[in-house]
Structure 1
């Protein structure tokens, strides 16, 4: 991922978070920390970026974010319910004001008829508001899916801070 292209949006995100005095946390599965890396590429990000949870395995989602094993068994890791639970878990466990979570199938393996490669659920949680989620079907190879996921996650954060 070319983080240079993400620096202008990160600068805007930074300004919006600082103006509110808010802290951000990320909960990432398919991106493996790319959103946190993009955020911390900007000098001074420690003023608004608190932490990133990389929860690639189901066990990590349960241990670190409080996603229930029953939810994972019922809906699967790549689902609206799990994405929302990840975002809400990050918000609660980090004690921040806003969070974003992503879970998906970056490929090239792992897809199915119901959840093809490129399927990604994103969720955003803001303290005191109901979480929101969105499903995307991204095209391209693994790197492209992960990059598009990162861009959509950041775009969603900026929308919620507009």
Structure 2
């Protein structure tokens, strides 16, 4: 598996080739993806901004995620991840965005959503400056909190690379 920095460097090259900017909406990773991206010299040429929206209120306030969506599906859900990715596009200059929300543990899991459940969304800005949903998925990662967060951050970058590359 490539390191987060290697994935970020590859992503930066792909985004530069397209002339695209990136925005991130992170919850369970707490800015880990943005940290990996900004570790790359020159990333200001392709990274517009990141939103660390750990609380439900932050998702609503910063990304315009509807409160009713969170109440209906929970913060860790594909609909919320999709709304986070769309919000990152709407509240930025980015051409592409990624969102991640999950349960890194060791607490917070349930039978329906065990620890390690992580929801992702990737979006590209459409013609009307709104996000077009491209990919939304849920993955289940094993390990402790650090391992789950690391795997989630890697998956965010891998998904971005597949869309931008």
TM class, shorter-length: over 0.9
The answer on whether the counterparts of 1:27 and 1:53 sit within 8 Å (CA) in structure 2 is yes
Aligned to 2:79: 81
Q: CA deviation at 1:48?
A: 0.4
For residue 101 of structure 1, what is the aligned residue in structure 2? 99
Are positions 1:14 and 2:17 aligned together? no
Equivalent residue of 1:42, what SS?
coil
Partner of 2:129: none
Distance 2:76 2:4 in 1: 25
TM-score (norm 2): 0.94
Q: TM-score, normalised by structure 1?
A: 0.95
In the alignment, the residues of structure 1 paired with residue 151 and residue 3 of structure 2 have an alpha-carbon distance, to the nearest angstrom, of: 12
Measured in 1, the distance between the counterparts of 2:155 and 2:133 equals: 19
Kindly indicate whether residue 159 of structure 2 is the aligned counterpart of residue 156 of structure 1.
yes
Whether the aligned pair in 2 keeps the contact of 1:13 and 1:157 (CA below 8 Å) is: yes
Preserved contact between residue 24 and residue 97 of structure 2 (Cα < 8 Å): yes
* Residue 120 (structure 2) aligns with: 122
Q: CA RMSD in A?
A: 1.1
Note the residue ranges of structure 1 that are not aligned, 5 or more in a row: none
Counterpart-to-counterpart distance in 2, 1:12 and 1:25: 16
2:35 — aligned with what?
Answer: 37
> What are structure 2's unaligned runs of at least 5 residues?
127-131
Distance 1:18 1:88 in 2: 22
Q: Report the secondary structure of 2:133's partner residue.
A: coil
Contact 1:88 1:131 in 2 (8 A): no
Partners of 1:68 and 1:87 in 2: CA distance: 13
Does the aligned pair in 2 maintain the 1:26–1:51 contact within 8 Å?
A: yes
